[in-house]
């Protein structure tokens, strides 16, 4: 055989191995779930269709809620985050040529931490490898079987050899385009979706951030975001047309456009440099209900997508995994099905609140092509109200740092 379960050889002949939970996908959701289960003594195997290097090459978000940080600490993967992550006690809204600070610490007593998703993934991968937990990279032709019965299994090909993983449950943590949700009959789920008529053109550059906290700009030329990954690596975005061609955006044009969307002092302080990554991300809201189908559970982007404006995607995946890990731990420890029966409803209650917040903040800060002059004035009035009301700022801050779970 080409792989083993935490050092154990195959338990069944014919290329078949048994585990308690098969996890599809080695992104943050799958890795975090795997470690939470591993720490509770539950066997779990992660199957990933890409290579380790490919997974670690993906550039993703980096604003972590306190709840996500606590989960990383709980599995022993928080050391580098605390050493290198950037705690933020607030962020700024820019409109009308002025910056308005949202003081998260004063308003909620909590903060967020800037730490790249790639680094979080690396920490979890390294921890999993050090503990001898099984991850199969480059698992091809993954297929899910019989999850509507009592004996689910997953088949796949590794190095040209067909194999089967027998399990009690399957956790689909393989993202929006993964096989897990696609394996569910369309008649068994309801899809809620909203597309947005614009995207985010993002650039990553090894230059110091223009501000020590994030700036969300909603000026006349459209939305922009000034973010960072570290004290020497910055991430910037500008709103662009949904069908924009990235070839039309050389670095110089991007930096010029970004300056036009910032206040004069910030534009003057902006340090530019060659991009090391550039991409255009479409914006959409998406929810698939329910998040459980027999012995298959969906978590993270496999079940829901949010616009990145509210920094909720990665954090929602973490809360899903929290609920699911507790449910599975209760099932295997107490033989209680209460947690797994409640998983979908409990996760979706938090998902929809995050969907609402992400939609609201996106609507507040972006220009929509169909907006009338009246609509633009209403948008500005809401921003003015927000900046002048502690109650309104507190509601924004409460959602931004993350609702409890």
Q: Which of these is catalytic: 312, 322, 346, 366?
A: 312
400 is catalytic: yes
**DSSP annotation string for 238-281:** EEEETT--GGG--HHHHHHHHHHTS-HHHHHH-----EEEEEEE
88 is catalytic: yes
Q: Which of these is catalytic: 28, 38, 88, 236?
A: 88
- CA dihedral over 206, 210, 213, 217, signed as positive or negative: negative
Give Cβ neighbours of residue 199 (< 8 Å, ≥ 6 apart): 239, 240, 241, 242, 244, 280, 281, 282, 283
User: Of 235, 225, 168, which Cα lies nearest the Cα of 204?
Assistant: 235
User: Of 143, 118, 149, 338, which Cα lies nearest the Cα of 229?
Assistant: 118
237 is catalytic: no
As a whole number of angstroms, the distance between CA 90 and CA 85 comes to 15
Q: Which of these is catalytic: 196, 236, 331, 400?
A: 400
As a whole number of angstroms, the distance between CA 100 and CA 215 comes to 9
Give Cβ neighbours of residue 169 (< 8 Å, ≥ 6 apart): 20, 21, 22, 152, 295, 296, 297, 328, 340
Q: Which of these is catalytic: 115, 216, 236, 323?
A: 216
As a whole number of angstroms, the distance between CA 192 and CA 189 comes to 10
Q: Give CA torsion, residues 219, 222, 223, 228, to 10 deg.
A: -90
Q: Which of these is catalytic: 152, 308, 331, 346?
A: 308
82 is catalytic: no
304 is catalytic: no
Active site residues: 88, 216, 308, 312, 400
């Amino acid at each position: 055989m080409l792989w083993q379960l935490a050092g154990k050889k195959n338990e069944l002949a014919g290329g078949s191995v048994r585990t308690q939970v098969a996890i599809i996908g080695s992104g943050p959701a799958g890795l975090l779930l795997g470690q939470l289960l591993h720490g509770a003594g539950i066997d779990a195997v992660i199957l990933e269709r890409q290579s380790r290097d490919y997974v670690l090459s993906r550039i993703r978000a980096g604003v972590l809620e306190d709840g996500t940080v606590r989960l990383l600490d709980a599995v022993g993967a928080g050391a580098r985050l605390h050493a290198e992550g950037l705690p933020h006690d607030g962020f700024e809204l820019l409109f009308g040529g002025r910056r308005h600070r949202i003081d998260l610490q004063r308003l909620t007593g909590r903060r967020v931490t800037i730490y790249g998703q790639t680094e979080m993934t690396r920490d979890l991968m390294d921890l999993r490898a050090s503990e001898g937990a099984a991850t199969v990279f480059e698992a091809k032709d993954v297929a899910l079987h019989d999850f509507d019965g009592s004996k689910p299994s997953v088949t796949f090909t590794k190095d040209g050899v067909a194999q089967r993983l027998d399990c009690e449950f399957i956790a689909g943590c393989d993202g929006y385009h993964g096989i897990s949700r696609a394996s569910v009959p369309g008649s068994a789920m309801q899809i809620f979706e909203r597309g947005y008529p614009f995207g985010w053109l993002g650039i990553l550059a090894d230059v110091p951030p223009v501000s020590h906290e994030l700036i969300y700009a909603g000026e006349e030329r459209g939305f922009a975001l000034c973010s960072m990954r570290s004290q020497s690596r910055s991430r910037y975005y500008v709103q662009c047309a949904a069908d924009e061609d990235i070839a039309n955006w050389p670095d110089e044009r991007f930096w010029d456009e970004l300056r036009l969307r910032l206040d004069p002092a910030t534009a003057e302080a902006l340090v530019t440099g060659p991009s090391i990554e550039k991409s255009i991300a479409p914006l959409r809201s998406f929810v698939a209900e329910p998040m459980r189908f027999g012995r298959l559970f969906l978590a993270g982007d496999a079940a829901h997508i949010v616009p990145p404006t509210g920094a909720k995607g990665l954090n929602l995946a973490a809360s899903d995994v929290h609920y699911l890990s507790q449910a599975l731990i209760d099932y295997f420890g107490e033989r209680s099905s209460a947690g797994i029966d409640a998983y979908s409803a409990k996760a979706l209650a938090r998902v929809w609140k995050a969907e609402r917040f992400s939609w609201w903040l996106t609507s507040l800060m972006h220009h929509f092509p169909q907006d009338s002059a009246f609509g633009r004035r209403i948008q500005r009035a809401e921003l003015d109200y927000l900046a002048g009301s502690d109650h309104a700022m507190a509601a924004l801050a409460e959602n931004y740092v993350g609702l409890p779970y």
